[in-house]
Structures are given as structure tokens and as C-alpha cells.
Amino acid sequence: MTALLTRSKPAPALDLDARLALASLAMDDRLDRAAVAFEVNTAHLPAEQLPEITVPHLPQAAGPNPYRTPVAALLHRARVRLQTDGWCRDALYDETGAVCPIRAIRLEAASRDQADDACFLLLESIRRRWQADTIPSWNAVQSSAAPVLLAFEQAAELAHTRNR
């Protein structure tokens, strides 16, 4: 009777690595079951009736965002968008999907205030190096995306050092 009254120790809390390993094992099991189900469901079909499965071309992942502060992270994401979508000089965007710096920021921002803060820091970064009045006027005189991407890097660092 005393064994029933004693309490057992609670299971220890799992750390992140252990939880990730368990999630990976669960996903492997689900994928294995799905593969078996596919084989069973298509075993009776002749090979010429099976649909061709193609994987669409996906853009390269940019990797994790190195910044934890919101505005610095936003500037980094906007820089990545400029790299992937393309840089546009004389308009907000063009027919190929390329975007200007301000549009890249607006597309990545969670709010208008966050976009305004990021634009302010980008302009400050531009003024420190190139002495420009506005982002669009500075962007219009650039001959390539390289200085634009550099300005985004510098602005993200500035936001990070200011903890913004």
C-alpha cells in the first residue's frame, strides 16, 4: 500500500536537441509510412500511367538572419529580397519583379512604423558615406546593386549597434 502512496519522480525536461531528435524520428516515420502508402496505392497502375513528378525550382535559402533586433533583421531581409528579386533603379518595381530599396523594406516590414524606422536608418547610412538627400535620388544615380547592398549591410549594423 505504501508503494501506491509514494510519488514517482517526474520525467526530466527534454532539452532542445533531444526534442529535435524526437521530432526528426517522428518525421522519418511519417515519411516512411507515406512512401509505403504511395507504393501500395500505385502498385496496380502501369508505369506509363503514373504522373511525372517535378520539383519546382526554388530560390536559394539565404540562411539564418544574423540579427535579433527587429529593424536590423528587417534590413537584412530587405537586402536578401533585393538580391533574390533584383534591384530596380528608376521605379518602385519593374516588370521582371525587381524592386527598389524602399519597396524591399516595405515588403518585408511588419508595420508602417517599422518600415519608417528602417528607411530612416538606411538614409542615415547612405548619408554617412555618399552624402545624398533622399533614398530614391541616391538609388537613381547608382550604376549597380553593389552600393545598395552595401548600404543595407551598413544600416543593419547601425540598427544592431543601436539595439533597434
Cα-based distances in Å from 162 to 39, 91, 105, 124: 56, 31, 19, 13
Does the model's pTM come out above 0.75?
no
Would you say residue 4 lies in a domain? no
Same domain, 34 and 82: no
Same domain, 91 and 144: yes
Domain range holding 138? 70-161
Rounded to whole angstroms, the Cα distance separating 130 from 82 reads: 20
Give me the mean pLDDT over the 143-152 stretch: 94
Rg of the chain (C-alpha set):
26
Of the chain, the percentage scoring pLDDT greater than 70 comes to: 84
Name residue 12's amino acid.
P
Reported confidence tier of residue 39, pLDDT bands at 50, 70, 90 = confident
The C-alpha cell at 89 is 533603379
Same domain, 102 and 143: yes
